Amino acid sequence: MGEPTELHEQLVDAANGIYGSHPGARAFHAKGFYCAGAFEATAEAARLCRAAHFRGDEIPALIRFSLGGGDPAGHDSVREPRGIAIKLDLPGGEQTDILCVTTPVFAARTPEDFLELLRARRPDPETGELDLEKVGAFLEAHPESGPAVQATLGTPPPASYAQLAYNSQHAFGLLDGEGKTTWARYRLEPRAGEASLDDEEAAARDGDYMRAELAERLRSGPVAFDLVLVLAEEGDPLEDPTAAWPEERRRVTAGTLEVREIVDDPERDGGVVVFDPVNVVDGIELPDDPILHARSPAYTVSVNRRA
Ligand code: HEM
């Protein structure tokens, strides 16, 4: 993980400024739970990418589903992105991580802009209300942030972690056996199809309805997602997670992620599990995306505070 600087401390402080600081909890994606499962790649993935997890072996996976905010007691109905974090145990002992969220694009192009947005979102200390003027001024100065904010506020509460599609937002370079690179964004598409609830229905449910729903669903068998590679074309932005790519980009099914059971929290007895998007292996190249490279050191700050 990268070395944190003042900026990464400030990002975590700003997250705490919105959600409060909660001992032992992540600064974002504070509320979540773990599952065990496996990933198996298709032959087409192996042709595109030489990385160990794309060779077609069954790869054991530790999976964490989460609610995007920093409140470990948040109600599952809130309008926030949901996350899926996957740690793959590769043959030979290495591990690699894949992190995705339900919003298709991110809310800022640089960590400095993201810090400004987080600070604008800090609730008024007197009223506890969002300062709409501050957020409005930020969005006016940063039109590139609009789509992510709209996607977050405009998406109704989910019915199930098994019925959401998740996106990497960043592009990753896939190297084949000859060293040729194909740039792609990842997307996890639910085999069960996407589904949502209306706000009233969701708010009336228990605050932890998402975990209970998944536990119930897993009784009748595993939950599956297709890992889809959305392939970049010449000129598509590879370093800007706020920018969507055209809908018609070619999609390749790279494999299946099977979620099999909810497991005990591996952090319960003081263990620390860190999912880090730059934890990649041979065959995967990272773009020069300033948001991607700010994440690892910001996660280190959060981990140091919660561990
Ligand atoms: C500069 C931008 C970002 C900052 C500062 C940031 C910050 C954080 C922090 C502090 C955590 C908690 C880490 C821990 O304690 O282990 C976290 C978790 C997470 N973030 Fe980000 N994040 C950023 C961008 C993104 C983006 C673009 C995605 C898109 C996939 C994303 C997805 C996630 C997910 C899925 C988790 C939960 C991981 C888990 O379950 O352990 N984040 N983020």
pLDDT in 10s for each residue of the chain, 307 residues: 579 999 999 999 999 999 999 999 999 999 999 999 999 999 999 999 999 999 999 999 999 999 999 999 999 999 999 999 999 999 999 999 999 999 999 999 999 999 999 999 999 988 989 999 999 999 999 999 999 999 999 999 999 999 999 999 999 999 999 999 999 999 999 999 999 999 999 999 999 999 999 999 999 999 999 999 999 999 999 999 999 999 999 999 999 999 999 999 999 988 999 999 999 999 999 999 999 999 999 999 999 999 9
Q: How does DSSP classify residue 283?
A: T
Q: How many Å separate Cα 69 from the centre of its chain? A: 12
Q: State the Cα–Cα distance between residues 127 and 124, nearest whole angstrom.
A: 6
Q: State the Cα–Cα distance between residues 283 and 68, nearest whole angstrom.
A: 29
Q: How many Å separate Cα 61 from the centre of its chain? A: 16
Q: Which two tokens stand for residue 259?
A: 């979620």
The ligand 1 atom nearest the CA atom of 29: 37
* Phi, psi dihedral angles at 45 (to 5 degrees): -65, -40
Q: What is the pLDDT of residue 289?
A: 98
Q: Is the CB of 31 under 6 A from ligand 1?
A: no
Q: How many CB atoms lie within 10 A of CB 198?
A: 10
Q: What is the pLDDT of residue 1?
A: 56
Q: State the Cα–Cα distance between residues 21 and 125, nearest whole angstrom.
A: 15
Q: Which of 286, 264, 197, 277 is CA-nearest to residue 29?
A: 277
Q: What is the pLDDT of residue 270?
A: 86
Q: Do the beta carbons of residue 247 and residue 24 sit within 8 Å? A: no
- CA-nearest residue, atom 4 of ligand 1: 295
- 103 CA distance to ligand 1 middle (Å): 13
Q: State the Cα–Cα distance between residues 116 and 135, nearest whole angstrom.
A: 10
